[in-house]
Amino acid sequence: MACRGCALKTDLAAPVLIVGTGAAGYGLLRALRRLDAQRPVALVTRDDGAAYSRMQLPSGMAEGREARDLVIASAEQMAHRLEAIVRAQTQVLHIDRARAVAITDRGELAYSRLVLATGSETVRPSGIRGKAADRILTVANLAEYRYFRHQLSGRGRVVLLGGSLIACEFADRLVRAGYTVALLEPGSRLLGHQLPALCAGRLTRLLTQGGVRVELESGIQRAELGAEGLELTLRSGAIRTADVVLALGGSQPRTGLARDAELDVRSGIVVDEANRCSDPHIFALGSCTELAGRGRAYAQDIDDACAALARTLMGGTSRAQWRQPLRRLELGGMLFALCAPPPVGGEWHEVATASGVTARFEDHRGDLRGFALLGEPAGRADELYRRLAR
């Protein structure tokens, strides 16, 4: 795909090269342009480079929106608006750190500073046997969303694997759109360790009342092609038939390029508070990274990191601060707010009423470290967020 400015000019200084055009990649480009309209910046992506919000994928399903309807701007439009080079449909194969060059399937790209914004990928369920095991889909990007919608066309039965927050949201939105939905969670409660028992139980009941078939301690052993669709054998031995199976059990940082370049990688690409990797000329942003052992996949983390890194790349000194993420959404017509606690010792305290559930996580000193609010109490989310111990 040709984009404005895609042909690199040898007489220009090597640009800041950003690998990835998701929220982190384009977010950094916008932050850079707020500080400097002239600095050479190039982005490279293996997809079409369209700008869109992944947060809109579940609601897009409920509203029957095509993938093209979710696009904010094409790669060409982003290149034009923000005066950058955008190389779409280009795969980075290797980083030659000694020469400061990214080797792609379309040639070499020199860089003055390299930023990895490679994002994350859905964790696919393991151990599922059968000839239709490869028919299990994921929806981690716009191309997968487009294919998922195509597979759903004229069909109505959907099985979702995993009880993550995004799985609950997809289940709720698909039921609203008229589909028959079963949600299979291998653990004993939805959202696993992020929710205490009472709140998780109320969330399960809420989805069930909305029409979602929630099956806890359940999963798929086999997937075969049957006469009426995908024939699924569950762990219990029960048989379910579905038209589409979607894996939503969580995501993991995409770190292959960083590992190949021998950068420091643990669960994510390790960065410091300046978003710098173990190579001083390479930085990383977004859900592919970790800072002090914590992932950084949420929008507010990415926004803060983009602003801080832009200042650093312009020669300043700025450090991104980790902020505890606060997620809000509507499930079954009821508001839900979740601020998952960090990995510290403590316990949950829950109060349930007819109007909802308030769950507070307090550490051993009695300080508030996280909370989950369902129903009417969700209106207090901002108040509790301000009271969190930092």
Q: Read out DSSP for 125-160?
A: PPS-BSTTGGG-B--SSHHHHHHHHHHHTT--EEEE
Give the contacts of 153 (CB within 8 A, at least 6 positions apart): none
State residue 84's pLDDT score.
97
**Terminal C-alpha separation, the chain:** 46
Q: Kindly report the CATH number that applies to the domain delimited by 327-386.
A: 3.30.390.120
pLDDT digits (tens, 9 = 90+) for 80-122: 999 999 999 999 999 999 999 999 999 999 999 999 999 998 8
CA 82 vs CA 17, 161, 176, 199, 220: distances in Å = 14, 39, 38, 45, 46
Ranges of the chain whose pLDDT falls below 70:
1-12, 296-299, 320-322
DSSP at 317: -
Count of Cβ atoms closer than 10 Å to residue 256 Cβ: 12
Cβ neighbours of residue 2 under 8 Å, at least 6 residues apart? 76
The rounded distance, in Å, linking the Cα atoms of 368 and 390 is 9
296 vs 268: CA distance, rounded Å: 9
Q: Are 121 and 129 in contact (CB under 8 A)?
A: no
Domain 16-121+251-313 has CATH 3.50.50.60: yes
Domain ranges of the chain: 16-121+251-313, 124-247, 327-386
Q: Which fold has domain 124-247?
A: FAD/NAD(P)-binding domain (3.50.50)
- Do 16-121+251-313 and 124-247 fold alike per CATH? yes
**pTM higher than 0.85:** yes
